[in-house]
Structure 1
Amino acid sequence: MTREEAEDILTEAGQAQDDAFPLLEAAIACAIHDRPFRDPSAVRTLAARAVERLRERAGVESPEEALAETLSGELGLDGDLMDEGDLEVGDIIAVADRRRGLSAVLGVFYIHAGLACGLNVQGVDFPGHFLLRVDTREGPVAIDPFSQGRLVLPSELTRRALRAGLTPAVADRLDLLMAPINRRQSLVRLQDLLFIRAIRAGDYPAAEGAALRKALLDPSDHRPWLDVAQARERQGALAGALSALDQAKTVEGDFQARLRQVRERVRLRLN
């Protein structure tokens, strides 16, 4: 698959309704867009195996136990503590091969398998760390795909929220801490994390790619185009930065004053 073909898939995914968003295939397209011409068959094989094994467990175990035992216990998916600075930990093709990666990438396999088996598994945009919300008969619970799918107790959620800088009034609100996000938002969060890491590493072409993928996946949000513009500006591609800002102008929203300021700054550099 070429980068252009991957962009076509991401563009189509961006137009899909939230409840029909093709999470696994969009995640594969994101990886190919970053590094084209790779074979994604290992991703699909692992995902199919996860569905097969989870379906056998789901009828006899609780949803959270079945997910953890299948995805981590049997298939070996776990967080990568040693290579957090490596951008490959956010690449689903690389993660399928090494079975180690970022929480948001591991979550793709959890969510895909859970939905295929009739479980309600959603991402949680928890501050500083991607978690999963799983509906059970006793109510929703949080699990951490980065830590072998283990259960995260409410008290631990509160402690993590306080460490992340949330106020005590917010940190005690489990309804806020476990508010679910849809599949599109889960994948956009991953690309946003890759963008931030690439910017910090000074890898502006990689940052531009991650920002562009965000823009394609969620065409209703103008902010990814501002990130594209930032990455292009740092590469000295000022005309490209202005083009990205023009794209942002086509998205509805109350941000035109800020956009004009950014565009004027880039235009002055270009002139």
Structure 2
Amino acid sequence: MASAQVTGSTVDRVRTGPPAGRSGRARDWAEIQERMLVPLYQDVYRRLDVGAATSLLGVGCRSGLALLLAEGRGAQVAGVEPDGGLRELAAARGLQVAPGGGAGALARSAHPVPRPAHSLVTVFERPPTPALIAWSAERTLPGGQLVVASWGPAERCESAAVLEVARRHAPLAAPDPFAAAGPGVLGALLASAGVRPSESGRVSCPFAYAGLDSAVRGLLSTGLFDPAEEAAGDAPVAAELAEALRPYLRPDGSVRMVNEFRWAAGTRPRT
């Protein structure tokens, strides 16, 4: 059984070279960025008592760290992820991850998931749109739980100033990472999919990096800057991102930003 021992504020010291470019984004996510959300995963799993009786499906699971943490608690885990590079990294970790549709199109995927329904379905790392939540609810067993998560309010996230770089250059139709941050929004999304909201939480997820270069790589690997890069070009966005990160440089050269993430869970009715 695979396992993971990490913390959300762990500083990445694996790679210190320049940004890897789009071809290296999947590995940048796995090596730098995904650990930043560990406090979120752990809070959900603790509150929902994830363990040997849990069959968990991670929707948009990326390279699978959240699945590894649930597996370490005894859960049976599987995932769905549209990005081929991220699926390869998840498979290298011994995880079963099915393809979805194109990026952002999981809700329209015709690919089968490893089993038809699960006792817990999580949407940690994809924007929680109504279509995606409805698709995920259909893969939740009656009596099972569905969890959705998002950034907290911009005023409680130091990374909001950095994400402004993406907003300035992205088309107007680009997703807003803070769209679900308002009071009750996540619960309303669950209710719209026929899931009864039951629990919620707020979690501090510090984003900590060894240096400016790794911070740029990590943030670009989230996909939040993709529309901006398509509109303005990769190099200008990376340069502007690096400049926006400078206020968060620490005396030792590391970068640290404090952020809040929020989650909500609901139960799919049995009838």
TM-score normalized by the length of structure 2? 0.28
Relative contact order, higher structure (CA 8 A, sep 6+): 2
Structure with the larger helix share: 1
Structure with the larger strand share: 2
TM-score normalized by the length of structure 1? 0.28
Larger Rg: 1
